[in-house]
Homo-oligomer: A and B are copies of this chain.
């Protein structure tokens, strides 16, 4: 308990330092790095506060809460990027989160889990991986069809905003149907989440942490996006690499550590649940929700992506389905997922 309070205070302090650096016009690279660290911390704070709040309502509601609030910092980054007109950053942040979770984290979790298993085979329920594959294919349908129409430049390509908005509603409806069935389903959900794996907070404090972290995440995201452009230029790495790798790993840092730690401890089902839920949520909740939100901005987010991203998304969905769809995974299968991520990151480095 006490250690939690200290950590939370440290995270808040880091957020404040970010603000000071931002307004003191310090070197953008410094602001960028500190803000990235603060965002990682705030993601963790929101995550455990959500779980603590959710305990009141049982595991199903916890899952739903976590699904909707857990990606809060990421949501803010994309929203501020959109309001700053940084469409490339917005897109690559969303896709980067998806790839980081679905390839890097899932791959490392499988490697850890398979190594921990006595016979070298990590085993888990196949239901969630199969559901995730279905949801990803739905998102891919939207993205591939709009992308092809965009490449061809046909008449439909002049209505991308409208088509994206309709598609976003379709994705959100299916996500809702899935979530309702998933929460209602008899399967005992991963109650261990908030068990030994994570610290918990008393209800009142949790609400307080959630509020403060939420506001802080919104502010820090703004400063992070602000520092992004000059920082990237100063360091000399491509914007695509920054969004796809650095922002993605920072924004999902804590979930990553949790997923891999759980797998190494042999809690294969929990590990898979954390990672898979995250991927499904980005594809069919966060992305369409941001598309609809962006209708209020000058810079509209659509489902149009560059061909390389579309290809990467299709390959990722197929690899995740093929590797985890049968409910077991070997070390080399985890290595293959990590390998796909390394290839993608290499390509982005030279972009």
Q: Which residues of A pack against B, CB within 8 Å?
A: 120, 130-131, 133-135, 137-138, 140-142, 144-149, 151-152, 154-156, 158-159, 162-163, 166-167, 170-171, 173-174, 177-178, 181, 185, 238, 306-308, 310-312, 314-315, 318-319, 321-323, 326, 330-333, 335-336, 339-340, 342-344, 346-348, 350-351
Contact = CB atoms under 8 A, between A and B. Distances in A.
Nearest to A306: B152
Contact of A134 (B163, B166, B178, B322): B322
Contacts of A144: 311, 314-315
Contact of A315 (B145, B151, B156): B145
17 contacts: A134-B319, A134-B323, A137-B340, A144-B315, A145-B308, A145-B347, A149-B347, A151-B307, A152-B306, A154-B306, A156-B308, A166-B342, A166-B343, A167-B346, A173-B339, A174-B336, A318-B318
Report how many copies the assembly holds: 3
Contacts of A166: 342-343, 346
Given A154-B351, A332-B177, A351-B155, A321 B322 contact: yes
Contact of A145 (B142, B163, B181, B344): B344
B307 A343 contact: no
A343 B174 CA distance: 12
Nearest to A180: B332
Contacts of A158: 350
B149 A308 contact: yes
Chain B CB within 10 Å — which of A166, A174, A238, A310 has the most? A174
Contacts of A120: 181, 185
A140 B315 contact: yes
Contacts of A170: 339, 342-343
Given A130-B326, A307-B152, A178 B332 contact: yes
Contacts of A308: 145, 148-149, 152, 154, 156
